[in-house]
Each structure stands twice: as structure tokens, then as C-alpha cells.
Amino acid sequence: MPELPEVERVRLTLLPLLAGRRIEKVRVAETRLRAPVDARALRRAAAGKHILGLRRRAKYLLVDLEGEKILLMHLGMTGRFRIVRAGSRDQVHDHVALALDDGNEVRYNDARRFGLVQVLARGEEAIHPRLRDLGPEPLGAGFGPATLATSARARRRPIKTLLTDATVVAGIGNIYACEVLHAAGIHPGRTASSLSPRRRERLVASIRSLLQEAIAFGGTTLRDFVDAGGEAGQYGEKLRVYGRESEPCETCGRRVRRIVQAGRSTFYCPGCQH
């Protein structure tokens, strides 16, 4: 499943290809995504309109359109974008196509169809049920050690579970939660409220540097994620604990352990995480 770095990578790849272009035609081949695609609303919102920008909120992409509409998109489990020349043959699972005024077509392809393509009114992103409860962006100014302290006081939950709660901080998924805790030397089962201010600061710094690094490397290659330019991410090779049960930790040599927290696998090193 694409996580924040992958989605940001898709945004960075698509932005120069989309910004300022006019959408000439909208084609919907399959409406059955996580929520049904309203083909008529999509055509009315997008056809003939310029693309003003492309934003990311947590793992959602928001396409700002000329006029009053926004396209809300989510890659779900297997969603990806392909840029092809207009008229080239559809691939299996190409569900939505936007033909641009430069002869290119953006195609949304999603084998498992857990993704999302929805039309919102401008401003609706602040109150939309899918977006309104999201916490601050981990790479944004609204997130810092104080955010974790406030949440920690409110909820005495394991720090790993807290980090993957999108209402506390938006978009840190299972893989990166494991990796940042390893980088910061924090045991995943520790309650957030037991962390000293210095360790909370170290955790926030690890979150920022790890996500930035993952974005630079193009994200992980788990499952069949491929970014908009068709390039596979390189970050998978750099994972230190995730998916490495019983392998020696590269930092201290102890074997990586797997436990289950809130129904998800957590990987950690008993040698360097306390």
C-alpha cells in the first residue's frame, strides 16, 4: 500500500506534467472504486478546465481545477497513474483517463479498486468526512514534540499505535512507524506519555528525516507500487526493521522481532529500542 512518501513522490512527478494544462476530455471506464465514480460530475468539473495545482493531504491527492471544483484522489492499495499519449491502448485496470491539451493522457489504473476519484467543491476539503479529522502533516509546521505530548497525555496508548493514528498525525503508515521508532531507539510498546521531552524531540526529528529520505528515494517498492512516471521506488532496500523478522539488526546485530499491535505487525530491534 502506498504510504506518504510514495504519494508525495507521485505528486512531485505529476505536478510539472499537469500544472497549467487544460483537461480536454474525461473518460471513465470503471466507476466501481472504493466509492462510486460519478462520471457525470467528473466531466462537468474537469472537462475544459485548467489544472491550477496538485496538493497532498495525508495520503490523498487534491487536484485544484479552474472553476469551483477539486478532484480528491486516493491510491488505495494498488492505484497508480500512467502518463501516455492520447489514443494509446488502455491497459487492463485503466479506470479513469484525463486527456490533456498537450496530447498526453493521465490514466488512473487500480487493479484492486480501493482507490478514489471524487469531485469536491473548493473549500469542502476542510469539512469532508474523509479529511476533516486528519491530524497535522508530519512534515508540516503544525507537527512537533508538543503534538505528541498533547496526544500522549490524552491517550495512554503504545507510541507505535499513536503514530499510525491519522487523527494524531496524518499519513504515517505501518512501515514508516516501525522504521522511525527504530531510528529514534524507542520501543514500540512504550506508552507515548512515558517518553521524555528529549526523546519526543528525537522521534519527531527521526520522522522528518526518514520521510524526507524516503521521498528522495522514491518510496518503497512493496507490492506493485509504481509511481506516476513508471519508476519503481528504491527505498525498500533501505528498510532497517520492517519485514526483517529474525534478521540481524544492522546497528547492533540482535535479531529483529515481530509482534502484533492493534492487529498490525510491528517489527523492532530488542537491542537498540527501549
Closest to Zn ion by CB, 229 or 271: 271
Catalytic residue among 49, 57, 59, 80: 59
Here's the x/- map for Zn ion, 229-258, by CB under 5 A: it reads as --------------------x-xx------
Q: How far is the CB of 271 from Zn ion (least distance, A)?
A: 4
Cβ of residue 250: shortest distance to Zn ion, in angstroms?
A: 8
* Residue of 22, 44, 113, 264 marked catalytic: 264
End-to-end Cα separation, the chain, in angstroms: 28
Burial of 132 (0-12, 13-18, 19+ CB in 10 A): exposed
- Determine, following the binding rule CB under 5 A, whether residue 183 of this chain makes contact with Zn ion: no
**Annotated catalytic, 3?**
yes
Q: How many CB atoms lie within 10 A of CB 107?
A: 22
Q: Is 264 a catalytic residue?
A: yes
CB of 88 to Zn ion, least distance (A): 49
Residue 95: CB partners within 8 Å, gap ≥ 6?
28, 29, 30, 33, 37, 108, 109, 110, 113, 117
The secondary structure of residue 84, as a DSSP letter, is E
Question: Is 160 a residue of the active site?
Answer: no
The closest of 232, 120, 223, 248 to 173, measured between CA atoms, is 223
> Nearer Cβ to Zn ion, position 148 or 249?
249
Backbone angles phi, psi at 98, to 5 degrees: -115, 115
Q: Which is nearer to Zn ion, 48 or 185 (CB)?
A: 185
* Shortest reach from residue 183's CB to Zn ion, in Å: 11
Run of H or E including 109: strand 104-110
Residue 191 and residue 156 in contact, taking contact as beta carbons nearer than 8 Å: yes
Q: Which stretch binds Zn ion (CB under 5 A): 46-54, 107-115, 199-207, 262-270?
A: 262-270
Q: Which of 33, 186, 228, 269 binds Zn ion (CB under 5 A)?
A: 269
Angle at 269 between CA 199 and CA 187, to 5 degrees: 35
Give the interface with Zn ion as residue ranges (CB under 5 A).
249, 251-252, 269, 271-272
Catalytic residues, by residue number, are: 2-3, 59, 264
